[in-house]
């Protein structure tokens, strides 16, 4: 089987999906804008061939170059797990008559307003929302939606350029920060706990499922530098609290005509127990969420995803053994990391349950916390008991501190 995989080099976790494809026995034809000489020998070994394009985000140019490059080759799949290239991958499939999700199907996962309209049409609960293209339309929508509200990009990912507004004045401030955004969604603010619903699907049917809890909510974490965001995968998916969200997620997959592959959905559980749709992508969650899922079940979902999209088969034992918690740390101060406090004591207490610790070390330059959720490194722990995993995660959040620029 011959597979074109867009963006095998970036984001970094895409190299793991490239490995997964190679390990299930397919020939991988990678397409990216990274120079071939910059690829590691290991990554090169996973690919049968590689096309470097000048600008991976130039859809028309990429389409034409790939078309010329593939002339005379037989291709069975065209795949992409990076959000910005989902549409161009679908257009390539449409052009070459390759099996997989069509452009119209992918748009339902990419355009947040179309997404909500299709989910609502299926009788599922979504926040009231309206597409806007300028400040005037945004203010008119705000009058209809009411405050508090959320304003975010139509085609965004994660919580980037997403703002809660409690007044028209706060909306003005948010819009000033979003001048580079061409289309936005103004939507009802939903108050509640926030969870994920992650799947690997065959023909839209989940063959693997995961739920993770955001602590605190992503919007709060994205708005307060001093916080250490925590995400915990839930070992027990059978608990009554989650059933509404899981049922909602399955309904969303049907409404949006999901095909094969990963999905990452976010949903709210209100104080009244109502499950409300947030948004969904037909790609894996970022920020090491797939690593967390792997640690939850001692499985390799990079490989299992590849097996599913190529052969419609999932072979791993995905029994959920642990609650896996990741804690992203942000240094206090700017510049280079100067010291870390609390890490030695933390490892002495919980080290047996720590599976990853990637904190930046003194001398390394801290990252821009606005541009990357992984911030200045993470601590990843797991435990069969939810309460213990939760305790360890929040101990890492409060007791370990990185300082910079001292």
pLDDT tens string 253-265: 999 999 999 999 9
> What span, in angstroms and rounded, lies between the C-alpha atoms of 289 and 198?
9
Question: Rg of the chain over CA atoms, in angstroms?
Answer: 21
Domain 2-100 belongs in CATH node 3.20.20.140: no
Write the DSSP string, 176-219.
Answer: HHTTT-S-EEEEE---SEEEEEEEEEETTEEEEEE-EEEES-HH
3 state SS of 294: helix
Q: What are the CA-CA distances from residue 307 to residues 25, 146, 207, 270, 332 (Å)?
A: 9, 46, 12, 37, 43
Q: What is the pLDDT of residue 65?
A: 96
Give kind and range of the element (H or E) at residue 278.
Answer: strand 275-281
Q: What is the pLDDT of residue 381?
A: 98
CB burial string 365-380: b at 16+ within 10 A, e below: ebeebeeebbbbbbbb
Task: Kindly give the confidence (pLDDT) of every residue in the chain, 406 residues in length, as a single tens digit, with 9 standing for 90 and above.
Answer: 999 999 999 999 999 999 999 999 999 999 999 999 999 999 999 999 999 999 999 999 999 999 999 998 999 999 999 999 999 999 999 999 999 999 999 999 999 899 999 999 999 999 999 999 999 999 999 999 999 999 988 876 656 788 999 999 999 999 999 988 889 999 999 999 999 999 999 999 999 999 999 998 888 887 888 899 999 999 999 999 999 999 999 999 999 999 999 999 999 999 999 999 999 999 999 999 999 999 999 999 999 999 999 999 999 999 999 999 999 999 999 999 999 999 999 999 999 999 999 999 999 999 998 888 889 999 999 999 999 999 999 999 999 999 999 7
Residue (of 246, 239, 242) closest to 208 by Cα position: 246
Q: What is the pLDDT of residue 158?
A: 55
Query: Architecture of 191-321 per CATH?
Result: 2-Layer Sandwich (3.30)
Looking at every residue in the chain, the average pLDDT score rounds to: 95
3 state SS of 305: helix
Dihedral (Cα; 9, 306, 85, 185), 10-degree rounding: -120
The dihedral through the CA atoms of 125, 128, 133, 135 has a sign that is negative
Do 87 and 67 touch, CB atoms closer than 8 A?
A: no
Place of tokens 């899981």: 246
Q: What is the pLDDT of residue 94?
A: 93
The dihedral through the CA atoms of 87, 89, 90, 91 has a sign that is positive
What are the boundaries of each domain within the chain?
A: 2-100, 128-188, 191-321, 322-406
Residue (of 270, 315, 324) closest to 297 by Cα position: 324
Tell which phi-psi region holds residue 294, choosing left (phi > 0), alpha (psi between -120 and 50) or beta: alpha
pTM of the model: 0.93
* Helices then strands, each counted (H, E), the chain: 14, 19
Give kind and range of the element (H or E) at residue 296.
Answer: helix 289-297
Q: What is the pLDDT of residue 191?
A: 92
Residue (of 280, 12, 233) closest to 122 by Cα position: 280
Q: What is the pLDDT of residue 156?
A: 65
Fold of 128-188: Dna Ligase; domain 1 (3.30.1490)
Q: Which residues contact 308 (CB under 8 A, 6 or more apart)?
A: 200, 201, 202, 207, 260, 261, 314
């Amino acid at each position: 089987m011959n597979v074109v995989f867009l963006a095998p080099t970036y984001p970094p976790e895409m190299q793991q999906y490239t490995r997964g494809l190679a390990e299930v026995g397919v020939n991988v034809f990678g397409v990216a804008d990274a120079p071939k000489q910059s690829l590691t020998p290991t990554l090169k070994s996973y690919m049968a061939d590689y096309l470097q394009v000048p600008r991976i985000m130039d859809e028309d140019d990429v389409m034409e170059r790939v078309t010329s490059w593939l002339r005379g080759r037989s291709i069975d799949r065209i795949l992409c797990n990076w959000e910005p290239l989902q549409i161009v991958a679908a257009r390539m499939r449409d052009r070459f008559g390759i099996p997989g999700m069509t452009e119209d199907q992918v748009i339902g996962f990419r355009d947040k307003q179309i997404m909500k309209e299709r989910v609502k049409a299926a009788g599922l609960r979504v926040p009231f929302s309206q597409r806007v293209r300028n400040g005037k339309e945004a203010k008119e929508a705000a009058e209809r939606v009411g405050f508090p509200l959320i304003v975010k990009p139509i085609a965004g990912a994660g919580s980037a350029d997403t703002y809660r507004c409690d007044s028209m004045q706060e909306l003005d401030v948010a819009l000033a920060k979003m001048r580079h955004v061409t289309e936005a969604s103004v939507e009802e603010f939903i108050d509640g706990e926030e969870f994920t619903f992650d799947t690997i699907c065959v023909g839209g049917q989940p063959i693997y499922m995961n739920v993770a809890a955001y602590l605190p909510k992503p919007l709060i974490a994205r708005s307060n530098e001093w916080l250490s965001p925590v995400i915990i995968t839930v070992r027990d998916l059978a608990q009554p609290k989650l059933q509404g969200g899981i049922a909602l997620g399955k309904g969303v997959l049907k409404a949006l005509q999901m095909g094969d592959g990963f999905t990452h959905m976010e949903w709210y559980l209100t104080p009244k127990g109502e499950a409300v749709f947030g948004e969904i992508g037909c790609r894996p969650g970022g920020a090491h969420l797939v690593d967390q899922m792997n640690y939850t079940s001692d499985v390799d979902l990079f490989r299992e995803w590849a097996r599913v999209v190529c052969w419609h088969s999932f072979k791993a034992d995905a029994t959920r053994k642990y609650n896996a918690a990741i804690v992203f740390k942000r240094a206090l101060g700017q510049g280079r990391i100067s010291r870390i406090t609390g890490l030695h004591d933390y490892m002495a207490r919980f080290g047996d349950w720590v599976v990853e610790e990637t904190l930046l070390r003194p001398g390394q330059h801290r990252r821009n916390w606005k541009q990357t959720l992984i911030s200045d490194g993470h601590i990843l722990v797991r435990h069969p008991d939810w309460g213990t995993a939760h305790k360890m995660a929040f101990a890492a959040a409060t007791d370990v501190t990185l300082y910079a620029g001292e």
